[in-house]
Amino acid sequence: MKSDSSKNKITEILISAPTLSWLTVFFLIPTIMAIIMALRPSNPYGDLLPGWTLENFKTIFSPIYISVVWRTIWVSILSTIICLLFSVPVGYYMARLSEKFRKIILFLVIVPFWTNFLIRIFAWKLILNPDGLIHKTFVFLGIIPSGGSLIYNTGTVILVIIYTYLPFAILPIFAAAERFDFKLLEAARDLGATRWLAFLHIFIPNISKGLMAAAAMVLIPCLGSYVIPDLVGGTNSQMVGNLIANQAFVARNIPMAAAWSTLLMAMILLPLGLILCVKILLDKNKD
């Protein structure tokens, strides 16, 4: 018995070794390097100076940046929620489709990845153009004034973020829904649950792992957004990613950029830790 479990442990370690070393080389070491870099002083020529400082971290917590950090958080969370709201029904219906149609829909979900991400963002500028149909319809319906613009505001940033990351939410939810036994829903209905109640109490808990994965897949890249607010955002759409770019490319201050990256990392690891805790709790409840 004992030798069996130790054998299992060795296999476990061997199997996870490639992933672990990958994560160490490309995630753990760079993360530690960024944190160390954030503690270094520097001069305006981009040279690192000897010694250590907490000045960079003091700067990022100064009150002028609160609005940017807060915007980064709420834009990311709102985008994630909307992505999930869209992808749950999509995943549900995709899983119920016949093999043939499912493949077609799956193909359609993946097809945007064939086009470069930047080109797709530029396409939005054409779609929302003031000479375009959408803009004209909105003006006709009185949603926006005729001189108004659909581009250069935070709403458009959220729209484009949702568009970009929606497939990342659909795929894990679909994968979870595909494994779901839809007979359970029928059983719930037989036992008197309404369609909505059955969906909420049977389907949703059963795809919870997919939901968690989808939330992480959307939230994490959202928090690091840089290109989208840069391209379609207005004067009040800056996110933490833009501050990092400004420090690295304009101010020549790599330690400051590293301090912002560290904050971003903390913002990402915190919800990830939460998701992990919830997952562990859920698993425990099942036992």
Q: List residues binding another protein (CB under 8 A).
A: 43-46, 64-65, 67-68, 122, 125-126, 128-131, 147-149, 151-152, 230-231, 233-238, 242-243, 246-253
CB 243 within 8 A of CB 65: yes
Q: How far is the CB of 253 from another protein (least distance, A)?
A: 7
Please identify, using beta-carbon distances, which residue of 87 and 253 lies nearer to another protein: 253
In whole angstroms, the minimum distance from the beta carbon of 66 to another protein comes to 8
Pick the closer one to another protein by CB: 145 or 192.
145
Are residues 105 and 91 in contact, defined by beta-carbon separation less than 8 angstroms?
no
Residue among 37 and 128 whose Cβ is closer to another protein: 128
Which of 196/249 has CB closer to another protein?
249
**Residue whose CB is less far from another protein, 14 or 126:** 126
What minimum distance in Å lies between the beta carbon of 9 and another protein? 43
Whether the Cβ atoms of residue 268 and residue 220 lie closer than 8 Å to each other = yes
Is there a contact between 168 and 218 (Cβ–Cβ < 8 Å)? Answer: yes
Confirm if 256 and 247 have CB atoms less than 8 A apart.
Answer: yes
- Long-range pairs for 235-239: beta carbons < 8 A, 24 or more residues apart: 235/152, 236/71, 236/153, 236/154, 237/71, 237/152, 237/153, 237/154, 237/157, 238/68, 238/71, 239/68, 239/71, 239/72, 239/75
Nearest distance in Å: CB 199, another protein: 40
Min dist. Cβ of residue 133 to another protein (A): 14
Q: Nearest distance from residue 195's CB to another protein, in Å?
A: 44
Distance CA 103, CA 139 (A): 38
Q: What angle do CA 13, 18, 21 make, to 5 degrees?
A: 95
**Complex with another protein: residue 252 or 279, whichever CB lies closer:** 252
